[in-house]
Structure 1
Amino acid sequence: MAQQEEEDGPVYTLDEALTSVGIGKFQYMVMCYAGLGHIAEAAETMILSFIGPALRSQWELSPTQESLMTTIVFAGMLVGAIFWGFVSDTYGRRKGLLSIAIVTALSAALSTFSPNYNWLLAVRMMVGFGVSGGPVYGSWFLEFVPSQNRGMWTIICTGFWTIGTILEALLALMIMPRLGWRWLLALSSMPSFAALLLFVFTVESPRYLCAVGRTKDACDILKKIAVVNKTQLPPRKLVSSQLTEELLSPGKIKVPNLKSGFSSLLMLLSPTLLRNTLLIWVVYIGNSFSYYGIILLTSLFSSGRCQHSSIALSMKDDQSLYTNVLINSFAEIPGTLLAAIMVEKVGRKLSMALTCALNFLFLLPLLTPELPALTTALLFGARTFISGSLVIVGVYCREIYPTSVRSTGIGVASSVGRIGAMLSPVVAVQLIRGCHQMAAIIAFEAVLVLSAASIMLFSLETKGRELIDTLVV
């Protein structure tokens, strides 16, 4: 527990302190570093879409071996997302960020020198393990932002993922035809190395410090924020929100054992959090299923594999693939901007439900084959709204959990969401190539309906709500 600094006169809470220092230069710098982590995650996730065909030709890989390169990355992310959440909640945000940067940068560099297929599988699994720590960057940034601006700024920070996907497609367009896949791997690892080098400029989250009782250290960081932002803290002493609640309700606060990752996981399944935890998992699975499915549908419809399909967009060479992915990635820009506006204007729950509904409407005409131009426009719109849904649920998930298990909560939810990403190719590829377009779209629509229903069952609206530091029991 924190020292009893509240004994001598008035005090202020961390939320009051963050409101006083406001949004300024300090938060912009924190956002840029967190955004660098999102760019690294996007680049390393997208890269296998570009190097797969080249490796299939050079190493004479079977279709199964080629697809396994993507599956193995998701397998690493499935494990890593949970692990990094535990590390961040147990040992602090900074140690979590440093560990993520080290593992990702070294694994990405090693993959550049892969002598054979098995080596590449092993190191790309480690890359997946590393980049799965992306949610930790978002949680770290969130904890420096005042409650009244939290949703919009967190979504803007998450928008760096879109920048990463666009940059990776541009890089592939320029590098692959001239220098080959090894150079693409090497240059794509630069954001991870940049995150490692710039780590020295990061500071620990004051909210995490308050949660573990280090109120004096949190106060020192808040003073630095005030200096950088050229603002002032309240002329009182800092007290963590958990202590303030304890003064109001003695004996009602349970401070978890932050040295036990397993206990953090159990807290997510406690009666207080169980309902929202299970609903969040359903939404994460649904969003991941839909997001990666829409990307696959774009590629599959473009290839015109089914002889009965009237969709005949052509992809005559690999360069067309890079261009197609690049154009489709731009759909996430309006999705992110729209989400940033909606999340503060209409709230988290309604925003998530609306984006699911709009995504449903854009996919609905694809129950039957459409003209190529219309299909492209519909998939562009669907990707716009599914990307918006993804970033909003990321905000909500971080807000619904206490600081003591926030990174674990978002990490586990992200990990569970990978189940949807793994199932999506099975549905999209098998049904579309088997000329069952209607069945594929019905499956995606059903998932969207389930996600929307789960969203409406969330017990809380977190817009404008102060973050909770510990679980009240």
Structure 2
Amino acid sequence: MGDQGCGYTLDEALSTIGFGKFQVVVLAYAGLGLVAESMELMLLSFVGPAIQPEWGLSSNQESLISTVAFFGMLVGAYLWGFVSDSYGRKKGFLGAAITATGAGLLSAFVPSYTALLTLRCIVGVGLGGGHICASWFLEFVPTSNRGVWMVVFSTFWTVGTIMEASLAWWIMPGYGWRWLLGLSVVPYSVALLFYGFVPESPRYLCTNGRLTEAQYILEKGAALNNKKFPVGLLVSDHTKDLVYESQSPETTLLLSSMTNKIDDSQRNTPSVFMLLSPKLIRTTLPLWFLYFCNTFSYYGIILLTSQLSMAQSECDPLTLQSENIKDDSLYINVFITSLAELPGLVIAAVTLDKIGRKICMEILMIGGFILLLPLVVHHNDIMTTSFLFGARMFVSTSFVVACIYAPEVYPTSLRATGVGIATAVGKIGGMVCPLIAVGMGSGCHQTLPVILFEATILLSGLAVMLLPFETKGKELTDNIE
């Protein structure tokens, strides 16, 4: 750090206060948002098969329940990303959480199929803001151990999937799908309850010239971590070189007071056109493609698990599906394959900061491709679950690494918008995926969807190869310049 009597930058302050209780609080709250999102998405694996026989729906109508949710997420991902970059990370998450909680609770009381589709689409709009939690938490973590802690953060997604599978196993056979929809909004409700106790991102505040607020948050963080906070004033990256050259507290004070004007002049309204600028287009386009393929293959494996658990070996007709909903095998298989994400996360935590994000993703995609390949033909229940377990372990972890890479690669002024649009493009894959996994995967037709999922995994690997640079060990940037 420069002369501690003069000034310091945000990255220097974060390195000084380290990772402690302050970041753990942020981690717990951001993780709660991730649990809420994963539970709302996982319930689609159970609600569709339960409603289909009860309301006499076709396979296409069942798949549409998932498709409209992903369409809503497509809209919400950009909407809340724009709000987050324009008005703050907390305001973006607040809007998303209120939308998802309200529509999620109302969907438990729907009288008709049309009403259910409408409300699940609105829930999807709220879920589209889930990526804000990752950007928010990332901006509190020191560079040195950012990869490991982002993997730890990602475990909350797996916790959510396991919780939802357990909740469905307990609720569905005796109480039905309406109770599952109602109880699944509890994590979002808890997040709203504690909303006022968590801070805004200091990196967002610095980028917007609000250095005094950012410094106050960092000082509280240092106190909570039992660390000595650096003496002097927080300065932006625009003025730090001048501060170090001057070595004068008076000059530091003057430059700090000028920072607000400097940042205002350089701050731009987040826009999709900025993401396609010459400096970012080589990153943006492969990242969009990667998110599309990853989302398609990840949710495809999840939905395929529930479809292949519905007595696929006997190719049961629709009339027997109501009995299958009460069969424990559906919940056991989904629960077991949800556990698959845990060893994958351990692999990522060990390797991410050593071999880099890009190589890690490539290795994981190869593993997922190999383990999914045998499912092009039918196997018994044990073999099918085993292959799905392994494929989900690798594919889900490659998706986690991609979700770590994306916020690292964009500057703070565009981070939530950039990740939001990439997530929105990914949700197009989520919209198409149910039509493949539920429609083509029904009955005895599993070969074609498995081949399509394998093809998307290969395309994901190609997208990673096209990404222009590695983010391992690099400090986060604040502006495109």
TM over 0.5: yes
Any idea what the Cα deviations from partners look like across 1:309-361, whole Å, max 9, x if unmatched?
xxxxx994433322221111111111122212221121111111111111112
Query: Cα offset for 1:467?
Result: 0.2
Ranges in structure 2 where 5+ consecutive residues have no aligned partner: 245-261, 316-320
Match of 2:291 in 1: 284
Distance 2:205 2:95 in 1: 19
- Counterparts of residues 70-469 of structure 1 (less than 5 Å): 70-244=66-240, 257-258=267-268, 260-261=269-270, 264-303=271-310, 305=312, 316-318=324-326, 319-429=328-438, 431-433=440-442, 437-469=446-478
Deviation, 1:169, is 1.1
Shift of residue 274, structure 1, vs aligned partner: 0.4
TM-fit CA distance, 1:416? 0.3
Letter in 2 for 1:290: S
The counterpart of 1:69, out of the listed 65, 68, 87, is: 65
Q: CA deviation at 1:256?
A: 5.2
The aligned amino acid for 1:405 is L
The farther-off stretch of 134-143 and 46-55 is: 46-55
Give the superposition deviation at 1:237.
Answer: 2.3
Partner of 1:39: 35
User: Using the alignment, how far apart are the partners of 1:83 and 1:224 within structure 2?
Assistant: 31
Deviation at 1:442, TM superposition (A): 3.4
- Which deviates more from structure 2 when the two are superposed, residues 103-112 or residues 76-85? 103-112
Structure 1 CA distance, aligned partners of 2:4 and 2:30?
37
Q: Deviations over 1:14-33 (max 9, x none)?
A: 11110110111111111110
Code of the residue aligned with 1:71 in structure 2: it is: T
| % same residue | 49
Letter in 2 for 1:388: T
Task: Provide the TM-score with structure 1 as the length reference.
Answer: 0.90
| Other structure's SS at 2:227 match | coil
8 Å CA contact 1:246, 1:253 repeated in 2: no
Measured after TM superposition, the shift of residue 437 of structure 1 is 4.9
Query: 2: distance between equivalents of 1:277 and 1:456?
Result: 13
Deviations 1:275-326 (A, max 9, x none): 1100111111111111112223323433464779xxxxx9944333222211
Do 1:11 and 1:238's aligned partners in 2 also have CA atoms closer than 8 Å? yes
Look up the equivalent residue of 1:351 and give its one-letter code.
C
Residue in structure 1 matched with residue 8 of structure 2 by the alignment: 12
Q: Give the Cα–Cα distance (whole angstroms) in 2 for the partners of residues 119 and 441 of structure 1.
A: 32
Q: Give the Cα separation in 2 of the matches to 1:186 and 1:333.
A: 27
- Mapped to 2, the partners of 1:282 and 1:336 lie a distance apart of 23
Per the TM alignment, residue 450 of structure 1 is displaced from its structure 2 partner at its CA by 1.9
> For residues 173-210 of structure 1, what are the alpha-carbon distances to aligned partners after superposition, in whole Å with 9 as ceiling and x for unaligned?
11122222222222111111101111011111000011
Alpha-carbon distance change, 369 to 63 in structure 1, aligned in 2, over 3 angstroms:
closer
Is the CA contact 1:242–1:469 (under 8 Å) kept in the aligned structure 2?
A: no
Q: Helix, strand or coil for the counterpart of 2:85? A: helix
For the pair 1:53 / 2:49, whether they are aligned, the reply is: yes
CA gap 1:184/1:426 in 2 versus in 1, 3 angstroms = closer
C-alpha distance after superposition, 1:120-179 (max 9, x if no partner): 222211111101111001110110000111111112112111111111111111112222
Query: Is the CA contact (8 Å cut-off) linking 1:104 and 1:126 kept in structure 2?
Result: yes
User: Pairwise CA RMSD of aligned residues?
Assistant: 2.7
Number of residues of Structure 1 aligned to a counterpart in Structure 2: 457
User: CA offsets per residue over residues 65-117 of structure 1, 9 Å max, x none?
Assistant: 32222111111001000100000000011111221221122112222222322
User: Aligned AA for 1:296?
Assistant: L
